[in-house]
Amino acid sequence: MSNDKKQQNRGSRPHGGPMGMAMSVQKAKNFKGTLKRLINYLRPDLPKIIIVVIFSIASMVFTIISPRVLGDITTEIYKGFFSPQGVDFAPINDLLTYLSVLYVLSALFAYIQNFVMVGVTQNTVFRMRKDIKEKLRKLPLKYYDSKTHGELLSRVTNDVDTVGSTMQQGLNNLVTAIVMIIGVLYMMLTISVTMTLVALITLPLSFFLIKPIVKRSQKYFKAQQKTLGDLNGHIEEMYSGHQIIKAFGKEEGSIETFTGINKELKHAAWRAAFMSGIIMPIINLVNNIIYVLISVVGAILFINGAIEIGNIQSFIQYIRLFSQPISNVASVSNLIQSTVAAAERVFELLDEEEESRQEDSNIFNDVVGHVTIDHIAFSYKEGQNLITDFSVDVKEGETIAIVGPTGAGKTTLVNLLLRFYDAQSGDIRIDGKSIYDASRSDVRQAFGMVLQDTWLFKGTIMDNIRYGKLEASDEDVYNAASIANVDHFIRTLKDGYQTIINEEANNISQGQKQLITIARALLANPRILILDEATSSVDTRTESYIQNAMLKLMKGRTNFVIAHRLSTIKNANHILVMNDGDIIETGSHSELLAKEGFYFNLYNAQFNKTLE
Amino acid sequence: MKKAYKLLTTRERFTVLLIILLVSAQVYSQLELPSYTADIIDIGIFNKDLPYIYGKGGLMLLISLASIVASIFASFFAAKIAVSVGTKLRFWVFQKVSNFSSQEYNKFGASTLITRNTNDIIQVQNFTYTMLRLMVMAPLMLIGGILKARMQSTELSFIFWYSIPVLVFTIIVVAFVALPLFKKLQERLDAVNLVFRENLIGVRVVRAFNRFKREKERFSEANLNHITIAKRVNRIMTSIMPVMMIIMNFTSLAIVYFGAIKVDEGTLQIGSIFAFLQYAMQIMFSLVMASMIFVMFPRAQASYRRIFQVLNEEQTIQDKEDAIEQTETTGAITFKNVMFKYPGAEMPVLSEVSFTAKPGNITAIVGGTGSGKSTLINLIPRFYDLTSGEILLDDVNIKDITQRSLRSHIGYIPQSATLFSGSIRDNLNLGKEDATDDEIMDAIKIAQAEEFVSEKDGGLDRVVSQSGTNLSGGQKQRLSIARAIVKRPKIYIFDDSFSALDFTTDFELRKALHPHIKESTIFIVAQRISTISNADQIIVLDEGKIVGIGTHKSLLQSCDVYKEIVSSQITEEEMDHE
């Protein structure tokens, strides 16, 4: 496989790389605008956020005062050392009490601030998810069909989570950083301007040393992410296609390709790891240099009587505090970028155009089942002409079969009837009333649906069948299941109707799933039925159960069937022959055979005589 | 753990020792600094000895420099080793899995194998990197710190007997409380995703049945459940910082207070208080580091185990020492009393299966679900090995032939087409590596795939996306068939390959295929009677045994199972037509 084809986007976020400050960051398209909007979004929690900020500042203030006080105690001790009376414990005890109070308050406020902030963050996550869910309910099916599930899920999970977690850290670090810098600077100046200057001159040193390293490591991190993505893609493909690789004897080739990418990864990975690993030592070095300088300068100043001895100690502690926010700046900036980028994707979704809505009116609650399709024209995309002009009148109780090769567009008609998509021109009427005058919910009340894709959710079999009619009694459910030929099977299961269908729904066979969906449709008891007969890989016994159940289901209703069984097709009142998205022939079975057209060929293919 | 010791070369093992030395040097320097400060205060300031202060200051700078150099080198080596370990593991796993037979492969399944080859290895790599640097640092700093502190003042050291246990206790409590909550958190998040995913997949059903209210409630519940736990967990985790701070701060307080008393007694120097405070910080810090390692360890260990589970897996199908390279063959396959049972299973999937498939003939295999059709077909290319009996290629037992040469004669087309990312040409080259474009186009024409491999989309250069999502099921299947045709093998195996095609294409394809493959031995497994009704021999399987062999006509007379299958597909009167 050509290597350069593997540059596609593999998965949402490949995990990779050792922990380090320099990670590759996603950038937002409209930073300012999204930031404003995000702040607006947080408005309901504004009072709480204000509390958080106040407590954060308070906690910081207490933290900043403490080193000074501790230093003063040391100064007292020193004085006591040189005085004949010994150490004077009176002021020391006072200072100690004061310090204890500061420590406790600082911790308490920090705890409260975190407590509240967590609440705010999670509430925001909650609200965002809720809003997305609400929004999705209103979006047209076109949106669903145009995006992969993975992409939509990523917005709900990855993006919302990113907003949540980075918001918490980002806000915290931002406030602490600002307060810290201002506060510590102030305290340092009150001790000694000279020492502050010494400290300030050396501080940018760390910045200048770190910045180029971070930049270079970014380069390697990017390369690492990319090769990791390529490698993971190769692994995924080769493993999913394991049997084919074996069948064609391509194991060696696959391993060779792998080794190549693996080497590339090694090259980028250790460099990235190394780069991120030396950031800490460099910060330490700078800290140590400052430590030494302050000790020396402090000692000199003390000897000259300009400062107290305790001040040296305090100053050293202040330096330690001061360098924290500096190193945090890089990560805070990254955090905020990530938050805004993620928020942007969420807002994008929330801004999507909703489908038109009408008022619910229960207008189709008791239909007889007479469906008229009147000169419908439809296409999914502009300019692409699918159905150009189609009409059919289906009286109550009649069956209309839709046939055609795979990909012919048979589900299009289903989409139009259920108003998953709307026709561009023409009308569809049920019992004489246009479906476009009613709400979508109203229209769907009239229909029942059994599709090829059996959608069952994680829950008991009872719940799944009851989905057809939520108010149904247990008896009703058993009844429906019996008619659907699946009651016996359910009762042979260990937990019977209380058996839980798991997420992949693979603890019951495909055939049985089909029968359960038929039971569900029976329970809903619609007058008009949409049915997809396609069944694949089902054993003969279950196949006959399904056929039989479907026949019972169709009795007495108006049926739109995507037909695969000849018996269904032959017995239908109308047959629609579709190909390439359009309806090319209509009529009854005998009429169509007489035409000797597409249908005729299709029918004969089922009985291919010889291979000649 | 079989190959664990091979992970590090001898050179790398020496490097690890070097790292330990470097880290020790680093720790040593870090621990020296506070005592120098103490000296500056006690001796330099006390004696107002400026040169002494400068001297000590200079020494401290030198030590710091030495420390960082050691640290950088340590990081350098650690990074190289960790990544080397990761790279090696990754290669070993990939090589191993590539050579798995279907049995080992299916024991694990694709998704866990992928995870073990990707995420798990990253876990181990990250842990190795962290460990190499911190593993020595934490205990050294802890012990060294305590020792150095005692050197400054033995009496004050008693404070540590209180602080350290309190700190350790806090860490343990948090771990015990938080760790199970993390698991729960993940579960709750999975629940949210589940509801969401179901609503995405089942959007049509939800709308058709108008079940919005119910779905909304379900989602609300899952959403609420998740953030309730998230709040709890996050509140615990963020409380760690303030608690640590309080412990450290009160430790400092105690040091200063008791230090004051000692100074008053005359048993302690002022400088020592300074130094002691610094050492206290370093000791606490090393404890935090140690706890980080403990947190990372279980996860890394779990990943390590999973990786070696794959590496230690026995390969069931291997070429014999003296396996023959079967370069020429007529393509005749004979099954002699073949029995297949999954290891540990009670009942065999196949038993007493005997038949011969001759070149030039079509052998069809039919039967209900679970009758053993796919298993039978998978035995021919030795994806699985039979339990007893023999399968012969011409007259040679396939176990005596190299797997490579056996498969070189087989064109295998599975039920669901598997294509790879790359061009159409790349995909077809899988069948024959040096195939010319003409050969490829020929195969494509025969496979009825020409109509969508057109010049305007790029022809043979057209890119197939990962898992072929830009082509329809039928198109993929036809390319898959073309890929086998290009190989021009003596044996074709169609494992229900026509079901994705509609009736017409199915017919046309087999019609076009026939003249080109009529000298080969053809196996078809199918559901549709129309696909196989004119095979030369039809094998009917039921519960793993052959219940009928013959032509369509003869089986309609003699075999009940066959009759049952046929009748479920076409009505009585059509059967009479035949």
Domains for chain B: give ranges and CATH numbers.
2-179+238-311 (1.20.1560.10), 332-409+493-578 (3.40.50.300), 418-488 (3.40.50.300)
CA distance A179 to A176: 5
Q: What is the pLDDT of residue A176?
A: 83
Q: Is pLDDT of B360 > 60?
A: yes
| Mutation for B interface: A288, A308, A547, most B CBs within 10 A | A288
**What is the least distance, in Å, from the CA of A232 to any CA of chain B?**
7
Chain A, residues 155-174, CB within 8 A of chain B, namely 156-157, 164, 168
Binned at pLDDT 50, 70 and 90, residue B1 comes out as very low
Q: State mean pLDDT over A584-602.
A: 84
Residue B145 or residue A156, greater confidence: B145
Q: State mean pLDDT over B337-361.
A: 89
Which of B169-183, B377-391, B398-412 shows the lowest mean pLDDT across its residues? Answer: B169-183
Select the CATH number that applies to the domain covering A39-350 from these four: 3.90.1150.10, 1.20.1560.10, 2.60.120.260, 3.40.50.720. Answer: 1.20.1560.10
Binned at pLDDT 50, 70 and 90, residue A372 comes out as very high
Q: State mean pLDDT over A217-230.
A: 83
Q: Is pLDDT of A6 > 50?
A: no
* A545 to chain B: closest CA residue: B568
A392 in contact with B, Cβ within 8 Å: no
Binned at pLDDT 50, 70 and 90, residue B3 comes out as low
Q: What is the pLDDT of residue A267?
A: 93
Instruction: Render pLDDT for B533-548 as a digit per residue (tens, 0 to 9).
Output: 888 999 998 888 899 9
* B431 to chain A: closest CA residue: A248
CA distance A336 to B568: 64
Q: What is the pLDDT of residue A101?
A: 93
**What is the least distance, in Å, from the CA of B177 to any CA of chain A?**
17
Residue in A241, A289, A567 closest to B64 by CB? A289
Percent of chain B at pLDDT > 70 equals 95
Q: Is pLDDT of B327 > 80?
A: yes
Q: Is pLDDT of A565 > 60?
A: yes
Which of A137-151, B25-39, B153-167 shows the lowest mean pLDDT across its residues? Answer: A137-151
Which residues in chain B touch residue A513, judged by CB atoms under 8 angstroms apart? none
Q: What is the pLDDT of residue B508?
A: 80
Q: State mean pLDDT over B81-106.
A: 92
Q: What is the pLDDT of residue A108?
A: 93
Residue in B57, B110, B422 closest to A2 by CB? B422
Which residues in chain A touch residue B431, judged by CB atoms under 8 angstroms apart? 248
CA distance A253 to B433: 11
* B81 to chain A: closest CA residue: A270
Q: What mean pLDDT, rounded, does chain B reach? A: 86
The answer to whether B577 contacts A607, with C-beta atoms less than 8 Å apart, is yes
The answer to whether A76 contacts B260, with C-beta atoms less than 8 Å apart, is yes
Q: What is the pLDDT of residue A608?
A: 47
Which of A318-332, B21-35, B95-109 shows the lowest mean pLDDT across its residues? Answer: A318-332
Q: What is the CA radius of gyration of chain A?
A: 36
| Mutation for B interface: A292, A319, A453, A471, most B CBs within 10 A | A292
Q: What is the pLDDT of residue B578?
A: 43
Q: A528-532 and A558-562 as β-strands: parallel, antiparallel, unpaired?
A: parallel
Q: Is pLDDT of A56 > 60?
A: yes
* A96 to chain B: closest CA residue: B253
Instruction: Render pLDDT for B437-468 as a digit per residue (tens, 0 to 9).
Output: 899 999 998 888 888 887 766 788 888 876 55
The fold for domain A456-525 equals: Rossmann fold (3.40.50)
SS3 A587: strand
A346 in contact with B, Cβ within 8 Å: no
Instruction: Render pLDDT for A267-299 as a digit per residue (tens, 0 to 9).
Output: 999 998 898 888 888 888 888 888 888 888 888
**What is the least distance, in Å, from the CA of B389 to any CA of chain A?**
23
Q: What is the pLDDT of residue A491?
A: 87
Binned at pLDDT 50, 70 and 90, residue B364 comes out as very high
CA distance A134 to A129: 9
CA distance B280 to B235: 27
What letter would DSSP give residue B45?
A: I
Task: Please name every residue paired with B515 in a beta bridge, in sequence order, or none if there are none.
Answer: none
| Mutation for B interface: A63, A72, A74, most B CBs within 10 A | A74
Buried b (16+ CB within 10 A) or exposed e, B429-445: bbbbeebeeebbbbbbe
Binned at pLDDT 50, 70 and 90, residue A17 comes out as very low
At B413, which helix (H) or strand (E)? strand B410-413
The answer to whether A100 contacts B201, with C-beta atoms less than 8 Å apart, is no
CB-based contact B289:B56 (threshold 8 Å): no
Q: Is pLDDT of A503 > 70?
A: no
Give the strand order in the sheet containing B491-495: B410-413, B491-495, B521-525, B362-367, B537-542, B545-550
Which of A368-382, A540-554, B356-370, B406-420 shows the lowest mean pLDDT across its residues? Answer: A540-554
Q: Is pLDDT of B183 > 90?
A: no
Residue B125 or residue A168, greater confidence: B125
Q: What is the pLDDT of residue B456?
A: 63
Q: What is the pLDDT of residue A504?
A: 59
Residue B514 burial (CB count, 10 A): 15
Binned at pLDDT 50, 70 and 90, residue A266 comes out as very high
Tokens of A582: 């359009």
The answer to whether B83 contacts A266, with C-beta atoms less than 8 Å apart, is yes
Residue spans of beta strands (DSSP E) within B199-345: 333-340
Contacts by A8-11, CB closer than 8 A, 24 or more apart: A8/A233, A8/B421, A8/B465, A8/B466, A9/A229, A10/A229, A10/A230, A10/A232, A10/A233, A10/A236, A11/A229, A11/A232
Binned at pLDDT 50, 70 and 90, residue A580 comes out as confident
Percent of chain B at pLDDT > 90 equals 30
Q: What is the pLDDT of residue A4?
A: 30
Most confident option among A123-132, B280-289, B421-430, B469-478:
A123-132
Buried b (16+ CB within 10 A) or exposed e, A351-369: eeeeeeeeeeeebbeebeb
CA distance A514 to A330: 56
A78 in contact with B, Cβ within 8 Å: yes
Show me where the domains of chain A are located: 39-350, 456-525
Q: State mean pLDDT over A509-522.
A: 86
Binned at pLDDT 50, 70 and 90, residue A540 comes out as low
Q: What is the pLDDT of residue A117?
A: 92
Binned at pLDDT 50, 70 and 90, residue A32 comes out as confident
Closest CA to A173 of A25, A332, A366, A53: A332
Percent of chain A at pLDDT > 70 equals 90
Instruction: Render pLDDT for B184-202 as a digit per residue (tens, 0 to 9).
Output: 887 888 888 888 878 887 8
Most confident option among A50-59, A288-297, A455-464, B198-207:
A50-59
CA distance B409 to B394: 12
The answer to whether A273 contacts B129, with C-beta atoms less than 8 Å apart, is yes
Q: What is the pLDDT of residue A612?
A: 29
DSSP string, A133-189: HHHHHHS-HHHHHHS-HHHHHHIIIIIHHHHHHHHHHHHHHHHHHHHHHHHHHHHHH
Q: State mean pLDDT over B292-307.
A: 84
Instruction: Render pLDDT for A306-315 as a digit per residue (tens, 0 to 9).
Output: 888 888 888 8
Contacts of B148 (CB under 8 A, 6+ apart): B31, B34, B35, B275, B279
CB-based contact B104:B315 (threshold 8 Å): yes
* B196 to chain A: closest CA residue: A153
CA distance B347 to A136: 50
Q: What is the pLDDT of residue B78?
A: 93
Looking only at Cα atoms, what is the longest distance across chain B? Answer: 121
Closest CA to A114 of B250, B176, B226, B237: B237
Binned at pLDDT 50, 70 and 90, residue B359 comes out as very high
Residue in A5, A277, A451 closest to B75 by CB? A277
Q: What is the pLDDT of residue B156?
A: 83
Residue in B110, B210, B430 closest to A240 by CB? B110
* A408 to chain B: closest CA residue: B502
Question: What does pTM read for this prediction?
Answer: 0.75
The answer to whether A5 contacts B463, with C-beta atoms less than 8 Å apart, is yes
The answer to whether B422 contacts A1, with C-beta atoms less than 8 Å apart, is yes
SS3 B354: strand
Q: Is pLDDT of A537 > 60?
A: no
Q: How far is CA A324 from CA A182, A327, A359, B67, in A?
A: 13, 5, 59, 20
Contacts of A236 (CB under 8 A, 6+ apart): A10, B114, B466
The answer to whether A606 contacts B530, with C-beta atoms less than 8 Å apart, is yes
